[in-house]
Amino acid sequence: MSEPRTQTRRQRVEAKEQAIIAAAREIFQEHGFEKTKIAEIAKLAGVAEGTVYLYFENKNALILAVASEFYDRLTRDAADGIRDLNDTVARLEFLARHHFERVAREWMLLAQAINPFKAVSDYRETEAYQLNRTYVEVFDQVIRDGINRGDIRDDISLSVMRDVFYGGIEYGTRTMRLRSAKADIDDIDNIVGDFMKVFAAGMFVTSTAAVTKEQRSLDQIASRLEKIAGRLEAVDKN
């Protein structure tokens, strides 16, 4: 009879922790790390200030928890998004758009959470590094698959490809945010499209492997027409 009460208590603890993290994300985005006060986070989360400290030692622990939750979603959605895509270009286009949109939306928060760790000599030992490594492993696997298929060159190190891919996207994100606080779908389409042309030109075995979205659409249309023609021929024979 005690199990239901234990489960309910665990759920309450987890729900309170998630409420604190969600409130912290909002306050950090609004005020920045230095100006954020734990009391503000507690008020928004609907808990006492002391309760926040029961879950998180200080603001550093809180912002790392926010970053961890963000990277969990980022990694999960990236893996889910490429699961049903068999074409190497399509998979990389998805990852480029996925990263671009998410980073553009939460750029300042990520800068506050991750950048301080990059300045320390033992960055590779930090949780922030592990979060990033787990996330980029999705990209790494796409590249390995692409090499095995003969789509991607095998004479360029994976780390260089990864740096060019994510470094280019993040630089593009900064440029876009400097030009405008908001970006519409056309902006993102154009930036991701141009980025993929440049990336594919250097990384793919041949330039023809990096077909454009329009070319792939034409191929899909041609495939459908062939299937329709086949059905019509079958009907005529009958």
Helices within 122-157 (DSSP H only): 127-149
Q: How confident is the model at residue 184 (pLDDT cuts 50, 70, 90)?
A: low
pLDDT tens profile 210-220: 444 555 566 56
Q: What is the pLDDT of residue 135?
A: 92
39 Cβ neighbours under 8 A, 6+ residues apart: 49
**Domain spanning 1-56, CATH class:** mainly alpha
176: Cβ contacts below 8 Å, ≥ 6 apart: 104, 183, 187, 191
The structural domains of the chain, with segments of one domain joined by +, span: 1-56, 59-237
Q: What angle do CA 125, 100, 92 make, to 5 degrees?
A: 85
Q: What is the mean pLDDT of the chain?
A: 82
Give 17's contacts (C-beta < 8 A, 6+ positions apart). Answer: 55
pLDDT of residue 210: 43
1-56 and 59-237 share one CATH topology? no
Per residue in 88-127, pLDDT tens? 999 999 999 999 888 777 777 777 776 655 555 676 777 7
**Out of 26-30, 80-84, 126-130, 142-146, least confident range:** 126-130
- In 3-40, which positions are buried (b, 16+ CB within 10 angstroms) versus exposed (e)? eeeeeeeeeeeeebbebbbebbbbbbbeeebeebebeb
**Which superfamily does CATH assign the domain made up of 59-237 to?**
Tetracycline Repressor, domain 2 (1.10.357.10)
Amino acid in the structure at residue 84: D
Residue 15: pLDDT over 80: yes
Q: What is the structure's pLDDT at 182?
A: 61
